[in-house]
Amino acid sequence: MAANTSVRDIVVEEHDRTLQQLESIWDELGLTEDQRLDRRYVFHTHIQNLCERILDDEKSLRTRISDRIMSNTQDIIKLCEELCVTPEDEVDGLTLLELDALLQERIDKLQQTKDERIETLRDLQEKDEGICELLCETPYYIPANLVPTVEDIANVEKHVKAMEKEKEDREKTYATLRAGILGFLEELEQSPNDSFLQKLICSDEEEDVPLGKADLQQLRNVHSDLEFRVKENEARSLELRETIRHLWDLLQVPSDEQLAFLATAPKHTPSNIAQLEEELRRLKVLRQQNMSLFIEKLQEELNQWWEKCFVGETEREEFSSAHTGVDEDALEAYEMEVQKWRNFYNEKGNQEILEMVNHFLNLFVQMLELEEKSKDPSRLFNTRGGALLQEEKAKKKVRVELPRVEGRLIDASKAWEECTGRPFCIFGTPLEEHISSLWEKHEAKRELEKYKKQQEKGQAEPPHRAVLRGVTPCKTPISSTTSKKRGLGAEETVIAKRPKHQATPLGNPSPTKLATNISPKKVMHTPRAIPLGEHNFQLPQGPAPAIIVSKALENKPTEELHSTITYDKFEDKLKSSNECLNSTTLDQASSYVGKS
């Protein structure tokens, strides 16, 4: 208010001063009163017009500011919508100028944000388009003339990073494939024969190369084709080297000469393969000139594989008798047979089973040796060095180890049968059946020895019917040096179950204990065959029996081996005869039946 009063006083004072000066001037001019009234009117009119103009100017300013406030408000709302942000709250109590300044500040800030987003998006899109063009991919799409949101920019950035990572991966793949192709071409001794390979070889690793999926797939196809050819050459080279090495061994070529030749063809390139083929042709000529020597060497090798694979004598004799000549056909047959058993031996899982077979047979033979040793009374007087203690330890070890190995072996053979659909055979017999046969013959031998001891003491009774029937002899003898493999193509037969006496203790009971345990009225029931059945094994009906049965019968006289009787006839004679038979030895039984 004081300011307004001061201005008013100044204006009034200025008005009065000006009017006084005008009056003084008019006095000097000698104007009349009417003239002075006209000039006073003009003076006041000028002042009034000036005030009106000033007022109009201020009103115009107020209008402009108000209009700008409205416009800025609309612009702020529009920018907030484009930028997907919430407008700031209004501020109360501000004048028009203050509100105008505030809105202008806000709009400048929003416009700057918009410009920054558009610029950022433009840079990202340029980068994205460049990478996608190289990778033959589609850039991230955002509609034109649209202010990007923060999420849009983040998505574009994410896409650019993904494309950069994809580019890096494809560049590595390209470099790997390119290096591989160049290496394969070198190994194949081949020059690029098409425009694609020529462009690939001439391209610089630093320059941008097409990294589209189709380009890389074409590169992979070329790489795969060349790799296949390289592997073919490698397989052919290895096959030739193996054949050549085998022929060298058969021809007894000195190792120095072998190494000298291999040094000239160390790789699997076509030129090296040509050298190997030439060497093979030369060796085949030498082989033709030394046919008998080759067949003899192959026979030795084949026997080794037969031993490793536990091939039966029948199968061996059939093959040997079918190829007795010394010609190319016999040579090829022996080579094929050797390769057949070598492949079988190296098949997955077979070697492990055969090693267990060999272990089991060695343990079984060790058990037999310990049992035979325990029958020697002289060992009781030779106790130096703890021999008896060592013998008992060996028995205990075999007693524990043999059933365990047998169980593992049978489980492995069953798994093999489930996988292949046929039983695992050794010596032409299914494995379980062969093992069962070994135990049957072992039990038969034990019963035979027990029966002989009873005969000697006059306490023998007629043997059990099952014992007289005997068991089927094993087709192949057991040896402590047997190898690790089984025969191929064996007929599928019913596999005998493991006998219940698997854990039969080692050694035979003493004669005193044996006599005490046998009742004169009780027939010995055993699941294994004894005297007459064992006696029948000596008849010429098939291959040699197993070593267990052979030991049980090795001391029989010749005439006894040709005598067989049945239990029924034997039992009838016992009941009807007045002659006192104190045992059922084969000699007495045969002569007795002969009298009838």
Residue 393 located in a structural domain: yes
Looking up tokens 């390979």, which residue turns up?
A: 197
Beta strands 429-430 and 425-426 are antiparallel
- What pLDDT, on a 0 to 100 scale, did the predictor assign at position 589? 34
Does an H or E element contain 216, and which? helix 213-251
Residue 397 located in a structural domain: yes
**DSSP-assigned letter for residue 553:** H
Residue 587 located in a structural domain: yes
Number of Cβ within a 10 Å radius of residue 330: 18
User: Helices marked H in 347-460 — which ranges?
Assistant: 350-374, 387-420, 431-457
Residue 146 located in a structural domain: no
Q: What would the two tokens of residue 212 be?
A: 């589209």
Verdict on whether the full-model pTM lies above 0.75: no
Q: Mind giving me the DSSP string for 37-89? A: HHHHHHHHHHHHHHHHHHHHHHHHHHHHHHHHHHHHHHHHHHHHHHHT-PPPP
Strand partners of residue 429 = 426
- Picking from 58, 80, 114, the residue at the C-terminal end of a domain is 114
- In 3D space, the residue among 404, 396, 402, 358 whose CA is nearest the CA of residue 374 turns out to be 396
Q: Mind giving me the DSSP string for 6-45? A: HHHHHHHHHHHHHHHHHHHHHHHHT--HHHHHHHHHHHHH
- What pLDDT, on a 0 to 100 scale, did the predictor assign at position 236? 95
- In 3D space, the residue among 440, 438, 442, 435 whose CA is nearest the CA of residue 506 turns out to be 442
- Picking from 114, 147, 179, the residue at the C-terminal end of a domain is 114
Helix, strand, or coil (residue 31): coil
d(CA 527, CA 453): 20
Question: Is the distance from CB of 427 to CB of 487 less than 8 angstroms?
Answer: yes
- pLDDT means per 10 residues, the chain with 596 residues, are 74 89 91 91 92 93 92 90 85 87 92 91 91 89 85 92 92 90 89 75 65 88 93 94 89 90 92 94 87 87 91 91 86 90 87 90 91 79 73 88 92 90 90 92 90 79 49 42 38 36 38 32 37 36 36 38 38 42 36 33
Q: What would the two tokens of residue 113 be?
A: 């944000």
Count of domains in the chain? Answer: 2
d(CA 83, CA 113): 8
Helix, strand, or coil (residue 191): coil
d(CA 296, CA 483): 21
Question: Is the distance from CB of 589 to CB of 455 less than 8 angstroms?
Answer: no
State the residue range of the domain holding 481.
383-595
- What pLDDT, on a 0 to 100 scale, did the predictor assign at position 337? 92
Looking up tokens 């202008």, which residue turns up?
A: 104
Does an H or E element contain 426, and which? strand 425-426
- In 3D space, the residue among 257, 320, 249, 321 whose CA is nearest the CA of residue 287 turns out to be 249
Cα within 13 Å of Cα(237), Cβ side: 20
- What pLDDT, on a 0 to 100 scale, did the predictor assign at position 163? 92
Looking up tokens 């107020």, which residue turns up?
A: 62
User: Helices marked H in 421-546 — which ranges?
Assistant: 431-457, 465-469, 511-517, 531-536
d(CA 522, CA 524): 6
Q: What would the two tokens of residue 511 be?
A: 């004669």
d(CA 523, CA 584): 13
Number of Cβ within a 10 Å radius of residue 95: 9
Q: What would the two tokens of residue 437 be?
A: 């046969």
- Picking from 89, 114, 139, the residue at the C-terminal end of a domain is 114
Residue 287 located in a structural domain: no
CA 550, distance to chain mean position in Å, is 49
Question: Is the distance from CB of 441 to CB of 545 less than 8 angstroms?
Answer: yes
Residue 474 located in a structural domain: yes
Residue 132 located in a structural domain: no
- What pLDDT, on a 0 to 100 scale, did the predictor assign at position 383? 64
- What pLDDT, on a 0 to 100 scale, did the predictor assign at position 205? 57
CA 174, distance to chain mean position in Å, is 27
Residue 38 located in a structural domain: yes
Looking up tokens 């690793």, which residue turns up?
A: 205
